[in-house]
Structure 1
Amino acid sequence: MNTATSHGEDGEKLLILAAVCLAALVLPLSFSGGAVATPAIGRDLGGSATMLTWVTNSFMLSFGSLLMAAGALADQFGRKRLFAFGLGGFILTSFAMGFAPSTLWLDVLRAIQGVAAAASLSSGAASLAQEFDGHARTRAFSMLGTSFGIGLAFGPLMAGVLIEHFGWRSIFFIISAIGVLAFVFGIPRMRETRDPGATGLDYLGTITFTAMLALFTFGVIQAPESGWGSTLVVTLLVLSAFMLGTFIVVENRAKRPMLELSLFRYPRFVGVQILPVGTCYCYIVLVVMLPLRFIGAEGMSEIEAGLLMIALSLPMLIVPLLVASFTRWISAGVLSGIGFLIAAAGLYWLSLIDFSAAKLALIMPMLVIGIGAGMPWGLMDGLSVSVVPKERAGMAAGIFSTTRVAGEGIALAIATAVLAALAHTSLLRIMPENVDGIASRVSEAAQRITAGDMAHAAEILPEATRHALSTSYADAFTSLLHVLIVITLLSAVATFAFLSHTPEQDDEPGAEAGAKKVTDTVASA
């Protein structure tokens, strides 16, 4: 009887794990699928290039800025309750996006979807930590991480197939249906758990942190349209800096801060925050921008673009597991630095490729980039809790998760602005001078090109041939790859400097107990 009960409980736990993994799967599907769908959304709904950029960035902004706040709410009000609220909200907003009448409405719904995603992921991960212990917990979070990898690897292909046969709206209907499966299988079987010592949400910290990220992202995205020196952009960036200062003051004075700033006194902890920043620029930026180029500039179908993107993301399913076994002989910091060097080499190789050539020529450098990015990707979660005293492991994981997701949104905004500026410069070289309104039209065309909307760019600049526009975009994209190479190399140097010499704390006695403190604040594994 006890054995039967044990098997029954194990079965229930596996269903809970499956539900949380399904909920985690739809997040990268929504992210990468939305990127592939952006050109089709622009053709159908129209909207400015800035509004099309927000299709991805509004989701990443709200998701990244509210992860830690969602964890605190889950502790106070219950993990199961917040998981149900977050997943239910994600399902409803995804379904509603399938009926969005304009790009503006789609952007608003994407922002709400990001809020729901933060709630479901934080509470779902915390629930897994309550259900599993020891090696079973490690395997559970490994499955959670694998779910993310599957979503990133096959999201573009799934989106391409759906767009080709059923239109871009079908992407969000399918995502909503997957969410319903997770809800039906997971919610009835989850136990309600809370943190008895929870003191509530750090409201001032949450507001100032979210405002800082929103103002900065809005300023950077608006810059190509309004100009870096415009009153609007300067005001947004100054207000963002003010909110950052206010956030630091608030957190230093709070009894239970959302973000424990004292952790940044540990040099190795600072080094760990470089890892997600580096992977943002050598990997995440390409997950969004390569489909826009393949579809918009190169004229590929959505299916062709999705198939090509597998080369970039497929290593994420294999490399993290392999590289973890290498830590027996080489430190995680050194392996992460080597990964950045490999990714930089892949980026340089990609910058030499003619995108109109055979697809095999694109696949090989994309594989190299994916392999390189996969090395720190598989190690940085463990490093985030091993480089601080074990009693600070939970807060360290929360900070790291926020750095990762918020950094992705910021990296996308910066890369988009840089590409628009480079495209603008490239277009000016080929356009005739002394034509009325040419400067403003070139600026608008550069933004359209950046969003993968070559058709509207051609309408805005009838003086330029389609070939000239494609060549200008190719030159700008190559220059952007050079910028990404520099950032990736700097990430490698910083990783070697901060993380390669000091012994890993998780090699010390008692580290396993410390790692278990990553229960309620783990937001991504």
Structure 2
Amino acid sequence: MNRRRTFQSQKSVRHGAVLAVTCLALATVVSAMASLNVAVPGIARETHASQTQLSWIIDSYSLVFAALLLLAATLGDRFGRRKALLGGLGLFTVVSAAATFFSEPEPLIVLRAALGVGAAFVMPATLSTITSTFPREQRTRAVSVWSAVAGASAVLGLLASGVVLEAWSWRSVFWLNVVMAVLALIGTYLFVPESADPEKQRVDIVGAALTVAGLGVLVYSVIEAPEHGWGSARTLAGIGIALVVLAGFVAWELHHPRPLLDPRLFRNTPFAAGALSVTLQFFAFFGFIFVIMQYLQLVRGDSALVAAVSILPMPAAMIPMARNAPRIAARVGLRRPWIAGLAGVGAGLAVLAQVGADSSYWLILTGLVPLGAGMGLAMTPATTAITDALPSRLQNIGSAVNDLSRELGGALGIAVLGSALNAGYRSDLNLEGLPGPVAEAAHSSLAAANIVGARTDNPALIDQARDAFASGLNLALITGAAAALLGAIAVALLLRRAPAEGTEAAAEDPAPKVPEAV
């Protein structure tokens, strides 16, 4: 009787509407990660925020987002994924609207962190709703759409923010969040069915606390590392504490009868390969977005809108490739396009690492296309490997692992590539003969060097600073390329004994094997 009722409810679901609404909700929280970068100059002018405060206005969102993902996914699994979507989107709407009424940096940091709480409930619920609602024969293609939206939303968020900033202040970026969240909220209420773990098991509170503490300290330490130095006692102590806490989390989960996330899941090599691949892909991707937007605006002198438009060839290549990835995988298997996609990301970043202060846009375009195509080709196999490794009752955890890998990769990529950019800039900047205050200001950032050079009528300083910034950019992008190529090698090794069948063949196995303890 229950099976018949489930079948009837599945028939009544409007899958196209569910996919559209969940992808809109996903785009709302993903675009918010990057879109505010465009508004940083306006925020700095009005709020008089320091560089550290500006960094936290941007990064507090990712910190809370990543730290709460597993707990939020578990609560969604326990109490209902539709409820998680409605609650997360409602919080996102209210907090985004509240942010428009403040002009001090401290409240904005707190409100961006609160946005991260809402996003942590929304993002895992979107993918788990798709994987638990769609029939298996339609699931892979739906996941490919989700992957394309996940990859392109950050860039499209930059573009949308650039457009609204042409006419309004930085507050318009938060109002854009409100509009998108309200539309997704209405769509969720009207079209998304409820789904949850029917067993209604108790939440692993200790595991959740260890996850939040460990990931919170780790991401905090990585974000602060460029400020204090990667070799500083504060950074090393923070990372060390985080690793100890996370080791404690693993030990606790291994002995818990109903763990928040069973570490033995990673014995499944496709699951492990998917999580590692997503982490390294978005390490490279979000790190690239962070440094390239500075290059386009500070070195090339583009406006926020022109800078956003300049990188549109990347999502233009990414979206169709992500849509066609299931068809390619069905013919040649997941492994080959997956590895080729990661290699494409590495190749694109290696090309972009050749840009200089006066490089033609054609060189940038030559790197953007393989970067976007590679992201699109690799995202769908990686996400599919994670979700197909788990039964339907654990889909919220699978999607949370996918999202956690993405957020941690992005936060680490921004911190590491940003640190490499700063190191290259400072080491290549020759400030001999300049007065102390001028040299100190120019050494802090390219933006400060541009201001000091204009005030002191020293165009040579500006040109030298631009060249030094380009040198730092080269180092940062080579680092991103190395991460992507490392991902390709890891996937090749982990899946070297995997069957050659593609996603359609994989669909024949209705019950993927997972550890019994789960």
What TM-score, normalized to structure 2? 0.86
- For residue 503 of structure 1, report the CA deviation from its aligned partner: 0.9
The equivalent position to 1:378 in structure 2, one of 377, 380, 397, is 380
Is the deviation greater in 418-427 or in 308-317? 418-427
**CA 1:338/1:16 → structure 2, altered by over 3 Å: closer, same or farther?**
closer
SS at match of 1:100: coil
Asked if 2 retains the 8 angstrom alpha-carbon contact of 1:73 and 1:200, the reply is no
Is the deviation greater in 147-156 or in 179-188? 147-156
Match of 1:53 in 2: 55
Cα distance between partner residues in 1 of 2:490 and 2:154: 27
Asked if 2 retains the 8 angstrom alpha-carbon contact of 1:225 and 1:447, the reply is no
Is the deviation greater in 281-290 or in 36-45? 36-45
Asked if 1 retains the 8 angstrom alpha-carbon contact of 2:97 and 2:174, the reply is yes
Match of 1:216 in 2: 218
Is the deviation greater in 74-83 or in 185-194? 185-194
Q: Deviations over 1:476-517 (max 9, x none)?
A: 111212222222222222222222442158676775423699
- For residue 149 of structure 1, report the CA deviation from its aligned partner: 4.3
What aligned pairs does 1:358-373 form with structure 2 within 5 A after superposition? 358-373=360-375
The equivalent position to 1:476 in structure 2, one of 472, 476, 494, is 472
Is the deviation greater in 237-246 or in 454-463? 454-463
The equivalent position to 1:492 in structure 2, one of 488, 491, 503, is 488
Q: Does 1:513 align with 2:510?
A: yes
Asked if 2 retains the 8 angstrom alpha-carbon contact of 1:220 and 1:233, the reply is yes
- For residue 218 of structure 1, report the CA deviation from its aligned partner: 2.3
Asked if 1 retains the 8 angstrom alpha-carbon contact of 2:211 and 2:246, the reply is yes
Asked if 2 retains the 8 angstrom alpha-carbon contact of 1:58 and 1:114, the reply is yes
Cα distance between partner residues in 2 of 1:410 and 1:416: 10
Match of 2:264 in 1: 262
Q: Does 1:448 align with 2:445?
A: yes
**CA 1:27/1:359 → structure 2, altered by over 3 Å: closer, same or farther?**
same
Asked if 2 retains the 8 angstrom alpha-carbon contact of 1:212 and 1:243, the reply is yes
Is the deviation greater in 484-493 or in 381-390? 381-390
Q: Which amino acid aligns with 1:160?
A: G
- For residue 125 of structure 1, report the CA deviation from its aligned partner: 3.7
**CA 1:393/1:75 → structure 2, altered by over 3 Å: closer, same or farther?**
closer
- For residue 174 of structure 1, report the CA deviation from its aligned partner: 1.4
Cα distance between partner residues in 1 of 2:427 and 2:164: 36
Asked if 2 retains the 8 angstrom alpha-carbon contact of 1:448 and 1:457, the reply is no
Match of 1:145 in 2: 147
- For residue 91 of structure 1, report the CA deviation from its aligned partner: 0.8
- 5+ long unaligned stretches in structure 1: 1-5
Cα distance between partner residues in 1 of 2:324 and 2:507: 25
Match of 1:115 in 2: 117
- For residue 425 of structure 1, report the CA deviation from its aligned partner: 1.8
What percentage of residue pairs aligned between the two structures are identical? 23
Asked if 2 retains the 8 angstrom alpha-carbon contact of 1:446 and 1:457, the reply is no
What aligned pairs does 1:314-393 form with structure 2 within 5 A after superposition? 314-386=316-388
- For residue 160 of structure 1, report the CA deviation from its aligned partner: 1.0
Q: Deviations over 1:166-220 (max 9, x none)?
A: 1222011012112112222321454444323132322222222222222222223
Match of 1:24 in 2: 26
**CA 1:437/1:200 → structure 2, altered by over 3 Å: closer, same or farther?**
farther
Asked if 2 retains the 8 angstrom alpha-carbon contact of 1:384 and 1:396, the reply is yes
Q: Deviations over 1:198-246 (max 9, x none)?
A: 3232222222222222222222332333334444333322322222222
**CA 1:446/1:344 → structure 2, altered by over 3 Å: closer, same or farther?**
farther
Match of 1:103 in 2: 105
Q: Does 1:159 align with 2:161?
A: yes
SS at match of 2:312: helix
Q: Which amino acid aligns with 1:33?
A: S
Match of 1:252 in 2: 254
**CA 1:503/1:214 → structure 2, altered by over 3 Å: closer, same or farther?**
same
Is the deviation greater in 26-35 or in 145-154? 145-154
What TM-score, normalized to structure 1? 0.85
The equivalent position to 2:174 in structure 1, one of 172, 175, 186, is 172
Asked if 1 retains the 8 angstrom alpha-carbon contact of 2:66 and 2:215, the reply is no
Asked if 1 retains the 8 angstrom alpha-carbon contact of 2:140 and 2:384, the reply is no
Asked if 1 retains the 8 angstrom alpha-carbon contact of 2:275 and 2:405, the reply is yes
Cα distance between partner residues in 2 of 1:12 and 1:342: 36
Match of 1:40 in 2: 42
Asked if 2 retains the 8 angstrom alpha-carbon contact of 1:68 and 1:258, the reply is yes
- For residue 351 of structure 1, report the CA deviation from its aligned partner: 2.0
Q: Deviations over 1:356-379 (max 9, x none)?
A: 343233222111211122221121
Asked if 2 retains the 8 angstrom alpha-carbon contact of 1:49 and 1:448, the reply is no
SS at match of 2:82: helix
**CA 1:148/1:400 → structure 2, altered by over 3 Å: closer, same or farther?**
closer
Q: Which amino acid aligns with 1:169?
A: R
Cα distance between partner residues in 2 of 1:509 and 1:223: 42
**CA 1:334/1:193 → structure 2, altered by over 3 Å: closer, same or farther?**
closer
Cα distance between partner residues in 1 of 2:395 and 2:180: 33
Q: Deviations over 1:59-103 (max 9, x none)?
A: 222222322221211222233322221100011122222233233
Aligned length in residues: 506
- For residue 467 of structure 1, report the CA deviation from its aligned partner: 1.7
Cα distance between partner residues in 2 of 1:338 and 1:222: 34
SS at match of 1:256: coil
Cα distance between partner residues in 2 of 1:143 and 1:242: 38
Asked if 2 retains the 8 angstrom alpha-carbon contact of 1:331 and 1:500, the reply is no
**CA 1:389/1:180 → structure 2, altered by over 3 Å: closer, same or farther?**
closer
Cα distance between partner residues in 2 of 1:11 and 1:394: 19
**CA 1:188/1:43 → structure 2, altered by over 3 Å: closer, same or farther?**
same
**CA 1:511/1:66 → structure 2, altered by over 3 Å: closer, same or farther?**
farther
Q: Which amino acid aligns with 2:250?
A: I
Cα distance between partner residues in 2 of 1:433 and 1:255: 67
- For residue 304 of structure 1, report the CA deviation from its aligned partner: 0.6
Asked if 2 retains the 8 angstrom alpha-carbon contact of 1:275 and 1:491, the reply is yes
Asked if 2 retains the 8 angstrom alpha-carbon contact of 1:287 and 1:309, the reply is no
- For residue 453 of structure 1, report the CA deviation from its aligned partner: 6.1
Match of 2:5 in 1: none
SS at match of 1:166: coil
- For residue 18 of structure 1, report the CA deviation from its aligned partner: 3.2
Asked if 2 retains the 8 angstrom alpha-carbon contact of 1:219 and 1:233, the reply is yes
- For residue 261 of structure 1, report the CA deviation from its aligned partner: 0.6
Asked if 2 retains the 8 angstrom alpha-carbon contact of 1:89 and 1:113, the reply is yes
- 5+ long unaligned stretches in structure 2: 1-7
Q: Does 1:205 align with 2:207?
A: yes
Asked if 2 retains the 8 angstrom alpha-carbon contact of 1:272 and 1:384, the reply is yes
Cα distance between partner residues in 2 of 1:314 and 1:516: 37
Asked if 2 retains the 8 angstrom alpha-carbon contact of 1:61 and 1:114, the reply is yes
